[in-house]
Amino acid sequence: MKKIKNLISFLILMLLFITVLSCGGGSDAGDETIFVPKVVVVIDPPSASTLSTPKNNKVCVDGSSISETQSSVSFQWNAATNADSYDLMITNLNSNQLITQNNINATSKSVTLNKGTPYSWKIVSKRNGTTKTSTSDTWKFYLSGEGIKNYPPYPANLLSPKSGSRLPSSTTSVELSWEGSDPDGEVIKHTVYIDTIDGFQTPESENKNLTSSSKSITVTSGTTYYWRIKLTDPNENSSYSLVYTFLIE
């Protein structure tokens, strides 16, 4: 009888031990891990704005005169889709100085500028939550000055070769190209200044008073060239581009 009692006691202890294990007293290898997917929010970038005023390639006479030398010019553009703010970027085409007005929450901005000076301008659209932006077209205008009846051409925009270009030593000729326009709509003549010193040396006769906006130039390897363009209207008003350089290796 004693042996039977001991066996029953042993069986009860084993049952209790098994019960403890099944209730989590042992290994947690059976626990499950729940993964929550990360939600990615896609923010569409803003679209490019459409410019309104000052008009492209026109003389701006709408500015409010502040002094003999300066006027306040109102820049206006159309709202861009998804845009929260705008950067207005204005370039003085004579000095290449950049004037910026950042984080504009409206679609217009007045800026004080120098009279009798050519400018270009564009709008950069921005949206909160994304670093992607969109840029409008670039427009040019001439801010009218006191007593000016006829305006010189806009300084030429040099297209090719880009400044700092390195061309192979096998290159024997380079096609220079640029673009230019006149605020008065007059026919303009083009003169190419190109040399190996500074771009200010007297141009060759065959590079003067051209009617096209490109010119093929003979070049030599191992030489750095400097070039710029002079534009002249029928009234002998002139403008000069920036100086660009390129190297024939």
pLDDT at 154 over 70: yes
Residue with tokens 């049952």: 15
Do 196 and 225 form a contact (C-beta atoms < 8 A)? Answer: yes
Residue 139 and residue 162 share a domain: no
Whether the predicted pLDDT of 191 surpasses 80? yes
Q: Is 162 inside a domain boundary?
A: yes
**Could you tell me if 169 and 96 lie in one domain?**
no
Within this chain, do residues 172 and 235 fall inside the same structural domain, yes or no? Answer: yes
Q: Is residue 200 part of a domain?
A: yes
129 and 163 share one domain = no
10: phi > 0 → left, psi -120 to 50 → alpha, else beta; which?
alpha
d(CA 141, CA 122): 12
* 240 in any annotated domain: yes
- 130 with 171, same domain: the answer is no
In a domain, 30, yes or no: no
Assess whether 93 and 161 both reside in one domain: no
- Same domain for 205 and 124? no
Judged against a pLDDT cut of 80, whether residue 125 lies above it is answered with yes
> What are phi and psi for residue 144, nearest 5 degrees?
-60, 150
Residues 60, 89: one domain?
yes
In-domain check, residue 224: yes
Is residue 129 domain-shared with residue 192, that is, in the same domain? no
Q: What is the largest CA-CA distance in the chain?
A: 134
Question: Pairing between strand 64-65 and 70-77?
Answer: antiparallel
Statement to judge: residues 172 and 203 lie in one domain: yes
> In the chain, at which residue ranges do the beta strands (DSSP E only) sit?
51-53, 58-60, 64-65, 70-77, 85-92, 98-104, 108-114, 117-126, 134-135, 139-143, 157-160, 165-167, 173-179, 189-195, 214-218, 223-232, 238-240, 244-248
Same domain, 137 and 102: yes
Domain co-membership, 189 together with 227: yes
Q: How confident is the model at residue 3 (pLDDT cuts 50, 70, 90)?
A: low
- Say how many domains are in the chain: 2
Residue 26, pLDDT > 70, answer: no
SS3 9: helix
12 inside domain: no
Assigned token pair, 9: 């006691």
Q: What is the mean pLDDT of residues 32-41?
A: 74
pLDDT at 5: 55
Q: Indicate the residue among 143, 174, 193 that finishes a domain.
A: 143
Band of residue 36 on the pLDDT scale cut at 50, 70, 90: confident
pLDDT grade, residue 197 (50/70/90)? very high
CA distance 128 to 124: 13
For residue 18, name the pLDDT band (cuts at 50, 70, 90). low
Domain span including residue 232: 157-248
Q: What angle do CA 126, 131, 137 make, to 5 degrees?
A: 45
Model confidence band, residue 74 (pLDDT cutoffs 50, 70, 90): very high
Q: 200-231 pLDDT, tens per residue?
A: 999 999 999 999 999 999 999 999 999 999 99
Residue 25 lies in a domain: no
Whether 237 is in a domain gets the answer yes
How much of the chain is in helix, strand and coil states, percent to nearest 5? Answer: 10, 40, 50
Q: Domain containing 119 — which CATH number?
A: 2.60.40.10
Q: Comparing C-alpha atoms, which of 249, 112, 120, 114 is closest to residue 180?
A: 120
Position 38 scores a pLDDT of: 77
